[in-house]
């Protein structure tokens, strides 16, 4: 029969293992989502950036078109920043998954 101390250690070990497994699953889901989502954002931002600098929007002479150009320019910069942060997130998630796999082995 197990003593209370041994039983407590066994329960703590089981809970730690379950917590590690849940953390690994959550990181894995975030990694899969970000691998799909952020490249799409990067493509949209690149297309907006090319649209602004191709001269299609910059040749506008009306005030409304100029405002639209500035909004498009700001949006394209925001997309690039968001995509860059997304790439950093993907790299961080990969590192965390490798560290977590190393601990569980």
Render each residue's pLDDT in the chain as its tens digit; 105 residues.
678 888 888 888 888 888 888 888 888 888 888 778 777 877 777 777 777 666 654 555 565 666 667 777 787 788 778 878 878 888 888 888 788 777 654
Question: Would you give the DSSP letter of residue 2?
Answer: -
3-state SS record for 10-36: HHHHHHHHHHHHHHHHHHHHHHHHHHH
pLDDT at 77: 80
CA 92 vs CA 26, 41, 47, 62: distances in Å: 14, 18, 27, 45
CA distance 45 to 86: 13
Kindly state the tokens that stand for 61.
């002479």
Classify residue 19 by burial, with Cβ atoms within 10 Å: 0-12, 13-18, 19+: exposed
pLDDT at 55: 60
pLDDT at 105: 42
pTM tops 0.75: no
């Amino acid at each position: 029969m197990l003593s209370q101390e041994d039983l407590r250690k066994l329960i703590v070990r089981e809970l730690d293992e379950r917590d590690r497994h849940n953390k690994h699953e959550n990181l894995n889901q975030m990694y899969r989502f970000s691998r799909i989502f952020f490249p799409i954002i990067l493509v949209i931002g690149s297309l907006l950036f090319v649209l602004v600098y191709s001269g299609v929007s910059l040749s506008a002479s009306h005030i409304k078109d100029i405002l639209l150009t500035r909004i498009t320019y700001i949006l394209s910069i925001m997309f690039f920043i968001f995509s860059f942060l997304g790439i950093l997130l993907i790299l961080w998630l990969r590192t965390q998954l490798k560290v977590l796999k190393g601990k569980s082995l």
